[in-house]
Amino acid sequence: MSLSVTKKRSLAALAAACLASVALPATPALAQKVKNKTPAAEASASSVDYVVTIPSVEAVQSSMDEATITDILSGNLAGNAAALAELDATSITIPEITVTLDVEVDGETERGTLTLSNLVLEDVSDGVATSMRLNGSSFATPEGNADMGTISAENVNLAAILGIYGLVDAGASREMQTLYTDFLVEGGSFSSDEFSCDIGAISGGEVRGRPFETSFVEIISIAQSMEDNPEDISPELLGKFVRMYADLLTAFESSEFTFDGLDCAGTTDEGEALAISVAGITMAGMSPGIYPQLSFDGLSIVADDGTMSLENFTLKQFDLSSVIATLEAAPELVEESWFEANGRGLIPAFEGFSFSGLSMDIEDQDNEGERIIADVAEFDLSLGQYLNGIPSALDTWARGLRVDLPEDSEDEQVQQLLALGITTIDAGFRIAAAWNADTNTIDVEEVSMSGVDLASVALKGTIANATEALFSLDMDEAMTAGMGMAVKALSVDVVDSGLSDIVLAVVSAEQKVDPKTLRPVFAGLAEGTVVGMMAGVADAAKLGSALNSFIAGKAKSLNISVEAKDDPGLSLEDFMMAEDDPTTLLGKVNIDASAK
């Protein structure tokens, strides 16, 4: 015998169907066709018609009878949730479930068929199944077919799932409960006329959850109301949605999940070959208020016009604590103006991202016939210490930025580098700074650039008078605070790793002289210029001497330190005056220099 359920579903009804699918493993023998009864209010202009067919069911020592299961699959999950939450059964086996869907899109109907093979629940006691196993599933549409291998899980807690959604009394406790453990999908495949994919296994240890403060029925009602009238959402409804959303962000936690990747190959709409592969994906454990880190390994894209690959790409976690606090503090009636006033509080604390092993060889879309060939060994962006939606700590760096310079480039700077004999750039950089609340300063740990076998320049310093007003929600206040900052100290380190030798070799070749004879000449000119400009400044001779040693090649590193004589430091006004006459700063700073 079989059960067929035909129904037009809107967003709300489809969500209910998804929840009902969680309870499907608990179904005993079904031996009739039942027409699903759904309130007319759930129908919508955009619809999905579907038929569920279950040829046979074997339930061994089950506490739930056929009529109850039939009623659940008819759409009355809420009315029978208590019986499902208390289900006892030695085993429930459904050899096959077929779902035929007719989806109407732009007036045209497209049919898809989902087939689930051999769904088995074992040792079900008080709504908890010791194990759940689905031997396989397939989904066929005119556009393509998908097949998945065995899906299994242990300790499937139907009672807790129903309690989370408010369909059964979950009691007063707000503690997390295990929903299932040892989740495993053994992988599968997808194929269409244009593409085919091999899909790896998905596995995870445990998922836990707690009851929502808003019942599932009300969640669906809110979602449906917002969908029905997107241009006229009442402040009361928006207030309910805001509080509901804040609650959902802390309702689940999980252990780490892994995905063994996929390999896809086919052709684009333009008929060009394209292959995409991912060796693996790892999602860190989820915790309340934290969107976990995602790590992608072995990404590769191969197309007719080029290739791109990444050894790893990691999207670091999002801390939603400030978002949740802002949402929870929202008034009962939420107007659009509330979002404008609290926009910064709705920004999650994003910790950044990183990648390694980037390699590309692609067409240059801006220059016909040219290619972009580049490699990046490592890149990292780390953000932290958020204040009013703004990170007050930043550390970003990269190494192994390798780019081949095109010999036929018309770019003037590229031609200059080629003239120096530089055909490949291998560079790196770092920018690291953090706001210090105790001292009201921004400590610039490092701003540096380096080139392998060329040179490196690193700056560090202290910016004073950086008050908390910099992060104010009032933009005028923040701008005023920014204009009040002052540079207290700066230090610059320069290391020559071969750049001067390259430059001197080119210049000496043009002038047909020995490079060794040019160094002392340039060194003397630099020293004389500095001493002349800084006449009367106590440290002028020391700075000139250090420059002489560095340019002459007697030293490979040069350090120049500048510190403001008066607090808080050099202001914006000081720098504006120095645009016309840089020497106006000389009397306001102490300068030190050394060469090694």
Q: Sign of torsion, CA 458 463 468 472?
A: negative
Alpha helices of 395-514 — where are they, by DSSP H?
412-419, 475-483, 499-511
Residues 6+ apart with CB under 8 A from 532: none
Would strands 188-192 and 144-148 be described as parallel, antiparallel, or unpaired?
antiparallel
User: Of all helices (H) and strands (E), which one includes residue 385?
Assistant: strand 371-387
Say if CB 28 and CB 59 are below 8 A apart: yes
Residue-level pLDDT at 348: 95
Q: Where are the domains of the chain?
A: 406-595
Q: What is the dihedral of CA 410, 414, 416, 417, to 10 degrees?
A: -150
DSSP string, 99-140: EEEEEEETTEEEEEEEEEEEEEEEEEETTEEEEEEEEEEEEE
Residue-level pLDDT at 46: 52
Residue-level pLDDT at 419: 75
Residue-level pLDDT at 476: 93
Give the integer Cα–Cα distance in Å for 113 and 52: 10
Give the integer Cα–Cα distance in Å for 36 and 16: 13
Mean pLDDT by runs of 10 across the 596 residues of the chain is 38 36 34 36 55 83 78 70 90 87 81 91 95 94 92 95 86 87 95 93 96 84 85 90 92 96 91 94 95 97 92 97 94 92 93 96 78 91 96 97 78 74 86 97 96 91 96 93 95 90 77 79 83 73 87 91 92 87 84 91
